[in-house]
Amino acid sequence: MTQNGGAPKDTQVGLTLNGRELKVEKDRLLIDVAEEVGIFVPRFCYHPGMKSVAVCRMCLVKVEGSPKLLPACATPVTDGMVVDTVDETAVDAQRGMLEFLLINHPLDCPICDRAGECPLQDQTYAHGPGSTRYVEPKRTYEKALEISELVVLDRERCVLCWRCVRFADEIAGDRFIQLVDRGPGTQILTFSDEPFDSYFSGNTIQICPVGALTSKPYRFVSRPWDLQTAPSVCTYCSVGCPLTNESRDEKIVRCQALPNENVNDFWLCDKGRYGYHHVESAERLGSPLVRSGKEFEPASWGAAVDKIVSAIKDKRRIGVIAGGHLTTEDAYAIGKLAKKVLETKDVDSRIQDAGAPYERALALGGIAGSTATLNDVEGAPEILWVGPDPKETLPVLYLRLRKAVNDGGARLTVVSPRATSLDVIAAKVVRCEAGGEGRALREIDDLGDDAVVCWGQSSPGRDETDAFDAAVAASQASGGKLLVCVPHAGSQGMLDMGVHPGLDAGYVEVAEPGRDTRAILEAAAAGELDALFLFGADPIADFPDAGLARRALEKGIFTVAVELFPTQSAMRADVVLPSAAYAEREGTFTNLERRVQKLERLVAPPGTAQEPWKTCAAIAGALGDAWGWARCDDVWDDIRRNVPTHKDLDLALLTQEAPAHAPFYESAFGDVQTHTMDPPALTVAGPGGQYPKGYRSGAPFQTGQNWPLSWELRAFEAKQRPGVIPHPNGSANGHGAAPAGAPDAPDAAPRAAEGGDDFVLLSGRLIYDEGSMVSRSKALGNIASGGYAELNPGDAADLEVSAGDRVVLRGAGAEVTLPVRIGDIAKGAVYVPYDQRDVKANTLMSGVDSRVGVAKA
């Protein structure tokens, strides 16, 4: 390569690529630079989300001055470089590599799930030889090894690109899948008897460039060209990973990550990827139900709404509780119904996170939520984490934190009363006492400038105002930003849209806050309410005082539940209205960084189930307030007119029907396209390939023609759908520190008082639990680990128990026996996972900051 004399003045370098003069950022990889200008260099091992290894040798290109061909995936651009990707020697090498990869490939495409979207197949169809010169027996392995509950491995199909191994090692940090043996006997395997039990295992299937790793739930279910696809957003946690749902015959059969470097990079957790079966669950509600005595009877929507209207007309003592999995539009409708139509201020959306003091973040910049984006976290020099274990609760955020530390060199400090998955990558771990997070945060004196402080609720049912205030103060002191980790996909939307006793939509603080969730339930239990509305809310399962929730719902107050499933709470209501699930509807989710992203409808809801915003509008209409909403866009227009933070947020930005430019690729093979910088009017993808028309709405992918792999198409599409972060209305809120809706005084709550009441009860969700959606997603059904009681080794010794022994926990009048785990947890605390099949931790809780008795069973 020819090097220009002096170093370039700026960070740009000039190179010649297939005869074109280009100016690009220096040190970028040739393969990326080429792709950006529409030159596709074939590849198997290279993946933009991981470090290059240059093992498949498919992307060899000619670089002037280099005696050998160079792998484009591992060659940074340098000034004066002259590159030819379609040089005869490069094409010959690429053809040769394809032939090598095929000699031992079983060519079982007719029974391979990957066929139709397989890079190896595509490249072979387009450019490979029609027959083989290899006449000897192929290498064989035992086929279809189930290496986990979700992943099936076929080593014969493997091209040993290492993508799965690199993902597991580099990205997820779960080194459960590895290269074994060497030479032609090299194979991908798990370690002896250990399964591939990673929370992120599904990603390896999506990035596998052949059918070596396939998905157990999707095996032999469909051909990719028979799939309808629609972009959506994960409905579980608040990271809000973009994904595509894919259906066949009106049934969702697969879900894949929609890469977006702002949010999820290229990844999903397995809960997000496999948690879609709840949509088709037989338990789904398909018709309104109206109570008649002890039984429910199906009713028409008209009859159900009439029943509600007659029950609440002229009643003003109404409580409204919304769950965390509803869309921003639902949130707006719920807030509007409650505050404008029902004229109540007793509205809240915090259930598991009851009392979480999000509004105290207003002091930082007028936002009840994060001032940091996920990109800010990844680029931060310092990160301070105080909150739950993100690997369990916010899995893809965990991946981005790992990236921030491992690639970005961020210095991570973790403050927690209990070991978290972050500890191993943290520069500093502060093991505070239970409830001592705030003090521990204030004692940290080595936090540098521009730190991103991440706060999440460590344990349901605890007053974490002190920790929150300390986190806000720490971020202020460091001149950095704050990431507020709300729990669920819809939680931030609820805060933004004013489903909060102290905030109206757009973070407008109200003078006299209403009741929060705990107060609403207490009022209900005391018979001080006329009616209770539950929107996607199951307080008996989720509220950190199951007894109180049960008393509230069994008091006989007129209760309306809008739900997907007959939950414990819904079955105690008077009217149950069916809701559409996330894949059955349009709308937006607002994630924890307040990015608004669009869901699109793929399948039809069961029966007459509908979006909760429609239900709100119907109830409002019946009460005499017609909102005139017919489509999701109407709700959004209303939001833009009335919510100051969202007034500039054009939904069209999120709903681009098709990319402005589909990628236009030239490559070394086949019909080499004429060199041009401007994409032609009829866009093509890959050599001679038709860009799959209507690929988003479900028309088939073009087998053997579109070189850019399906995930690459999606990456391209994601660039068109980045999501939008609304600007807070600077003038709408001062920097007043006075929080609205302050939580109840902790000492007001009754304490469990049964013998040995001496342990602080810590809880928190594991990735797989008894949540109403995940527990009905059959692919994940066998994975949940079940309950346990985690104790400090010293406490365990005092109790004379060791790992595996059983202990009895007594609290809130309930008693449960659990196996003991010894862990790195603060002394005097016991951890019980939230909402597991064999133990509902919230049944042991009463009031704030519950304590439990622990004794040897």
Partner 1 sequence: MSPVSGRPRGEVRIVTRRMREYPEDSWTLSRALDDGGYEASRKVVTQMTADDTIELVKSSGLRGRGGAGFPTGMKWSFVPKDVFPKYVVINHDEGEPGTFKDRELAELDPHALIEGITIACWANQANKAFIYCRGEFALGSRRMDRAIREAYEKGFLGDGIYGSKFDLDIILHRGAGAYICGEESALLDSLEGFRGQPRLRPPYPAVKGLYAQPTVVNNTETLMALPAIIDKGADWYRKWGTEKSPGTKVFSVSGHVKEPGNYEAPLAMPLSEVLELAGGMRDGSEFKAVIPGGASAPLLTDLSVPMDFESLKDAGTMLGSGAIVFMDQTTCMVRNALVTTEFFEHESCGKCTPCREGTWWGVKVLERIEHGEGRPEDMDLLLDICDGIDGRAFCPLGDAASWALRSNVKLFRDEFEAHVSEGRCIFDGEHKQLVGARARGDEMEGGS
Give residues in contact with partner 1 (CB under 8 A).
52-58, 60, 67-69, 74, 93, 96-97, 99-101, 103-104, 133-134, 136, 139, 159-160, 179, 181-186
Instruction: Tell me whether residue 188 or residue 643 sits nearer to partner 1 (CB atom).
Output: 188
Residue 185 vs 409, nearer CB to partner 1: 185
Tell me the CA distances in angstroms from 166 to 170, 171, 188, 520, 579, one per residue in order.
5, 7, 11, 50, 41
> 10 Å Cβ neighbour count for 402?
23
CA dihedral 759, 764, 765, 771 (to 10 degrees): 80
One-character DSSP codes across 1-67:
----SSPPSSSEEEEEETTEEEEEETT-BHHHHHHHTTBPPP-SS--TTS-----S-TTEEEETT-S
How much helix, strand and coil, in percent to the nearest 5, is found in the chain?
30, 20, 50
Angle at 249 (CA atoms; ends 248, 252), nearest 5 degrees? 50
Gyration radius from the chain CA atoms: 28
Nearer to partner 1, 69 or 451 (CB): 69
**In angstroms, what is the minimal distance from the CB of 771 to partner 1?**
40
Report the nearest approach of partner 1 to the CB of residue 260 (Å).
28
DSSP letter for 138, please: P
Question: Assign residue 419 a region: left if phi > 0, alpha if psi is -120 to 50, beta otherwise?
Answer: beta
| Closest approach of partner 1 to the CB of residue 136, in Å | 4
- From the list 169, 494, 168, the residue with the least C-alpha distance to 330 is 494
Neighbours of 8 (CB within 10 A): 14
C-beta closer to partner 1: residue 94 or 733: 94
Residue number with CB closer to partner 1 (160 or 362): 160
Nearest to 254 by CA among 492, 603, 659: 603
Closest to partner 1 by CB, 60 or 643: 60
User: Among residues 773, 301, 784, which one has the least CA distance to residue 567?
Assistant: 773
Indicate the residue among 26 and 727 with the shorter CB distance to partner 1: 26
User: Please, which residue, 44 or 274, has the CB nearer to partner 1?
Assistant: 44
Q: Using the minimum distance from each CB to partner 1, give the nearer residue, 182 or 735.
A: 182
140-158 residues labelled b (16+ CB within 10 A) or e (exposed): eeeeeeebbbbbbbbbbbb
CA distance linking residue 827 with residue 254, whole number of Å: 44
Handedness of CA 21, 23, 28, 31 (dihedral sign): negative
Are the CB atoms for 97 and 58 separated by under 8 Å?
A: yes
Compute the C-alpha angle 195/197/201, nearest 5°.
115
Which of 69, 279 has the CB closer to partner 1? Answer: 69
Q: How far is the CB of 381 from partner 1 (least distance, A)?
A: 21
Cβ closer to partner 1: 57 or 307?
Answer: 57
Helices 328-336 and 632-642: angle between axes, nearest 10 degrees:
60
CA 636 vs. chain centroid, Å, equals: 23
Minimum distance of partner 1 from residue 814's CB (angstroms): 50
Instruction: Compute the Cα dihedral for 223, 227, 233, 236 and give only its sign.
Output: negative
Residues 279, 603: Cα–Cα separation, whole Å? 9
Q: Residues in the chain, how many?
A: 857
Select 104 or 465, whichever has its Cβ closest to partner 1.
Answer: 104
Amino acid at 108: D
Q: What residues have CB less than 8 Å from 5, skipping those under 6 apart?
A: none
Residue closer to partner 1, measured from CB, 121 or 591: 121
What's the min distance (Å) between Cβ of 458 and partner 1?
36
Give the residue with the Cβ less far from partner 1, 136 or 512.
136
CB of 185 to partner 1, least distance (A): 7
Which of residues 61 and 494 has its CB atom nearest to partner 1 in the complex? 61
Least distance (Å) between residue 28 CB and partner 1: 16
The conformation of residue 476, written as its DSSP 8-state character, comes to H
Closest to partner 1 by CB, 93 or 529: 93
Q: Which is nearer to partner 1, 96 or 794 (CB)?
A: 96
662: phi > 0 → left, psi -120 to 50 → alpha, else beta; which? beta
Helix (H, G, I), strand (E, B) or coil at 332: helix
Q: What are phi and psi of 111, to 5 degrees?
A: -115, 20
What does each C-alpha distance from 652 to 166, 253, 328, 373 come to in angstroms?
A: 38, 28, 16, 22
CA–CA separation, 463 and 92 (whole Å): 67
- Min. distance of Cβ 103 from partner 1 in angstroms? 6
| CB-CB neighbours of 411 under 10 Å | 18
Residue 186 or 375 with smaller CB distance to partner 1: 186
Shortest distance, CB of residue 133 to partner 1, whole angstroms?
6
* Angstrom distance (rounded) from CA 236 to CA 256: 15
- Gap between the Cα atoms of 695 and 749, Å rounded: 56
Q: How far is the CB of 333 from partner 1 (least distance, A)?
A: 54
CA distance 422 to 429: 9
Least distance from C-beta 187 to partner 1, angstroms?
Answer: 9
What the block records as the tokens of 852 is: 């439990």
DSSP type of residue 371: S
Q: CB of residue 110 vs partner 1: minimum separation in angstroms?
A: 23
Q: Which of 219, 213, 215, 277 is CA-nearest to residue 245?
A: 277
76 secondary structure, DSSP code: B
